[in-house]
């Protein structure tokens, strides 16, 4: 079998303040459309105030993640806010700590996620934003 | 040279409570068996209460990591616990922050880890679990 | 098109104490020299007291990241320090939490970074060190 590389983009409009979006259905669809059988999918946020990771996507845990992040890096007097006056220094801190990239293996055409494990996008900015999540695929195709 | 993609699974039984397991020997063996010369290895946990990263694997630092994580997200009244009653809301928070995936370059048949840098699995759940770590390899083989 | 895999090394001398270095120009140059058109770049630190992530690289936010990390895991009585007497237990904690690897998609020859998103190396050790950052590339070339 030959190896191919390709990519797709998910467009998102979110309200910020640690909004959590489940990207799993979109990434699943992209893996299927590409026909990836054995390889990896990289999910990447092209911005510095949002991040990707995996959690169990259910409302209680989403509220826990939001409360945890707000406590970890609260809004306030960050130096970044003096630079731009945009008040989102804490957004950058949270996103940089979680990180913008996630790489997931694909075996026999399916991502190797656990049953209660979803790919989530966390928008920690302080106002509504439109952003892109890039989904890159490398591996053997059908 | 041609590029190949393949994968292997490491099975783990751990006790939770931030147990730290050194995965380096297993991943090293898998790289060797696959014959990967130049490429990347992705190590991925298929669950949302465990994570992977690198640390210097020595008992003092393992205790430090455990103490740090317990202080960062203590057991307690997390909303997730109301949803399922399983009491592991804090486990999810810790695992989501560290993240489930790690990608390591391979050059001349060896992972580019530092001398005091080991690949570790951190099981932050609150009870013993059996889980899989997926090791995906992409690159030039012998 | 055929898929290739290759790698390059960035050599860094840093002073530690959460020094932040913008790696974007170096990684950009390596992507161009390799001729990568569609694929992924993995940036990996081969040590356990430094990490990579993305932030907006500007002096105010750099100061914020440094203040945040020092507060999150302060220098002090870590068990690791009893093992080696090297006093950098907190350096390991910070680096392990942020993580040593970052994977960035490349589309049409360019990394898919946002305008205010730079690849940064954070050296959290407590003394000056020389280290290597490995840049691995996999994908279609020109």
Whose structure tokens read 């890096």? A73
For residue B68 the two structure tokens come to 């740090």
Q: What would the mean pLDDT of A63-79 be, rounded to a whole number?
A: 96
Tell me the pLDDT tens digit for each residue of A86-139: 899 999 999 999 999 999 999 999 999 999 999 999 999 999 999 999 999 999
The verdict on B4 touching A (C-beta cutoff 8 Å) is: yes
* C138 shares contact with chain A (CB less than 8 Å): yes
Integer Cα distance of A131 and A46 in angstroms: 7
How confident is the model at residue C83, as a pLDDT? 84
pLDDT grade for A84, boundaries at 50, 70 and 90: confident
pLDDT of C20-40, one tens digit each? 999 999 999 999 999 999 999
Spatial distance between the Cα atoms of A72 and A83, rounded to a whole number of angstroms: 22
- ipTM computed for the complex: 0.96
Gap between the Cα atoms of B106 and B119, Å rounded: 14
Residue A38 with chain B: CB contacts under 8 Å: 5-7
Give the pLDDT score at B83: 83
B65 with C3: Cβ contact below 8 A: no
Separation of alpha carbons A111 and C61, rounded Å: 35
With CB atoms and an 8 Å threshold, state whether A54 touches B97: no
Beta partners for residue B134, in sequence order: B9, B44
Q: Give the pLDDT band (50/70/90) at residue A1.
A: low
Give the helix, strand, coil percentages of chain C, each rounded to 5.
30, 40, 30
Classified by CATH at the fold level, domain B3-74+87-141 comes out as: Jelly Rolls (2.60.120)
Note whether C137 and A4 are within 8 A (CB): no
How many residues in total does chain A contain? 142
- What span, in angstroms and rounded, lies between the C-alpha atoms of B26 and B65? 22
Cα nearest neighbour of A41 on chain B: B42
Phi, psi of B67 (to 5 degrees): -65, -40
* pLDDT value at residue C1: 66
Cα–Cα distance for residue pair C2/C142, rounded to 1 Å: 9
Instruction: Please say whether the beta carbons of C1 and C52 come within 8 A.
Output: no
> Three-state DSSP class for C68?
helix
Domain ranges of chain B: 3-74+87-141
At B1, the pLDDT band (50, 70, 90 cuts) reads low
CA distance B95 to chain A (A): 8
pLDDT band at A85 (very low <50, low <70, confident <90, very high): confident
Whether B12 contacts chain C with CB within 8 A: no
Q: Which residues of C touch B5 (CB under 8 A)?
A: none
Rounded distance between C-alpha atoms, residue A81 and residue A102, angstroms: 28
**Which of A117, A140, A142 to probe the B interface (max B CBs under 10 A)?**
A117
Q: Which of residues 70-99 of B touch C (CB under 8 A)?
A: 97-99
B105, closest residue in chain C (CA to CA): C136
The C-alpha atoms of residue A115 and residue C93 are separated, in whole angstroms, by: 30
Burial class from Cβ neighbours inside 10 Å (0-12, 13-18, 19+) for residue C17 reads: middle
B52 touches B100 (CB < 8 A) = yes
Fold of C3-141: Jelly Rolls (2.60.120)
Q: Closest chain C residue to A73 measured between Cα atoms?
A: C68
For the stretch B56-78, pLDDT in tens is 999 999 999 999 999 999 999 99
Mean pLDDT, residues B111-125 taken together = 98
DSSP string, A50-65: EEEEEE---HHHHHHH
Which sign does the torsion angle of CA B27, C105, A102, B8 carry? negative
pLDDT, one tens digit per residue, over C43-72 is: 999 999 999 999 999 999 999 999 999 999
Q: Using the beta-carbon criterion (under 8 Å), do A117 and B47 form an inter-chain contact?
A: yes
Say what percent of chain A tops pLDDT 70: 99
B7-65 tens-digit pLDDT: 999 999 999 999 999 999 999 999 999 999 999 999 999 999 999 999 999 999 999 99
Question: What is the predicted pLDDT for the residue at C20?
Answer: 98
Per-residue pLDDT tens over the stretch C78-110: 999 988 888 999 999 999 999 999 999 999 999
């Amino acid at each position: 079998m030959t190896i191919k590389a390709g990519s797709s983009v998910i467009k998102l409009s979110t309200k910020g303040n640690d909004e959590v979006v489940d990207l799993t259905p979109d990434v699943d669809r992209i893996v299927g459309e590409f026909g990836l059988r054995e390889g990896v999918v990289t999910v990447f946020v092209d911005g510095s105030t949002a991040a990707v990771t995996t959690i169990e996507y259910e409302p209680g845990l989403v509220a826990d993640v939001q409360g945890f992040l707000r406590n970890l890096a609260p809004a306030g007097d960050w130096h970044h806010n003096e630079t731009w006056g945009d008040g989102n220094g804490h957004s950058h801190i949270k996103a940089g700590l979680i990180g913008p990239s996630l790489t997931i293996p694909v075996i026999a055409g399916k991502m190797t996620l656990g049953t209660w494990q979803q790919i989530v996008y966390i928008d920690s900015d302080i106002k509504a934003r439109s952003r892109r999540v890039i989904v890159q695929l490398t591996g053997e195709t059908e």
